[in-house]
Amino acid sequence: EVQLVESGGGLVQPGGSQRLSCATSGFTFSNYGMSWVRQAPGKGLEWVSGISGSGSTTYYADSVKGRFTISRDTFRNTVYLQMNSLRVEDTAVYYCAKDRLLNQWLVQLTFDYWGQGSLVTVSS
Amino acid sequence: QSALTQPASVSGSPGQSITISCTGTSSDVGGYNYVSWYQQHPGKAPKLMIYDVSTRPSGISNRFSASKSGNTASLTISGLQAEDEANYYCSSYASSSTLVFGGGTKLTVL
Please give the pLDDT value at position A103.
86
* Bridge partner residues of B47 (DSSP): B39
The CA distance from A96 to B94, in Å, is 19
Contact B48 A45 (CB under 8 A): no
User: What's the pLDDT at A41?
Assistant: 96
Between chains, do B45 and A115 touch, taking CB under 8 Å as contact? yes
Whether B32 and B38 have beta carbons less than 8 Å apart is answered as no
> Within the 4-63 window of chain B, which residues sit less than 8 Å (CB to CB) from chain A?
34, 36, 38, 40, 45-48, 51-52, 57
Q: How confident is the model at residue B2 (pLDDT cuts 50, 70, 90)?
A: confident
Kind plus residue range of the DSSP H or E element containing B12: strand B9-12
Mean pLDDT score, A86-101:
97
The 10s digit of each residue's pLDDT in B31-81 is 999 999 999 999 999 999 999 999 999 999 999 999 999 999 999 999 999
What's the pLDDT band for A106 if we cut at 50, 70, 90? confident
Neighbour count for residue A93 (Cβ, 10 Å)? 22
Vertex A54, ends A51 and A56: CA angle to 5°? 65
The beta strands (E) that lie in chain A are given as 3-7, 10-12, 18-25, 34-39, 45-51, 58-60, 68-73, 78-83, 92-99, 111-114, 118-122
Q: What confidence score (pLDDT) does residue A11 get?
A: 97
- Whole-number Cα distances in Å, B13 to A86, A90, B9, B80, B110: 44, 37, 14, 7, 5
Report the b/e string of B84-96 with b at 16+ CB within 10 A.
bbbbbbbbbbbee
Tell me the chain B residues in contact with residue A117 when contact means C-beta distances shorter than 8 Å.
45
**What does the pLDDT look like over A8-51, one tens digit per residue?**
999 999 999 999 999 999 999 999 999 999 999 999 999 999 99
**How far from chain centre, in Å, is Cα B31?**
17
CB contact under 8 A, B46 and A45: yes
Q: Please give the Cα distance from B18 to B16 (Å, whole number).
A: 7
3-state secondary structure of A89: helix
From B47, B91, B97, residue closest to A59, measured CB to CB: B97
> pLDDT tens across B80-104, in order?
999 999 999 999 999 888 999 999 9
For A20, how many CA atoms within 13 A lie in the half-sphere containing its CB?
A: 33
Look at residue A104 in the predicted model and tell me its pLDDT.
84
Dist. CA B56–CA A106, nearest whole Å: 22
Confidence of residue A56 (pLDDT cuts 50, 70, 90): very high
For residue B3, the chain A residue with the least C-alpha distance is A46
Residues in chain A closer than 8 A to B98 (CB atoms): 47, 59-61, 109
pLDDT at B1 over 80: no
pLDDT tens digits along A57-90: 999 999 999 999 999 999 999 999 999 999 999 9
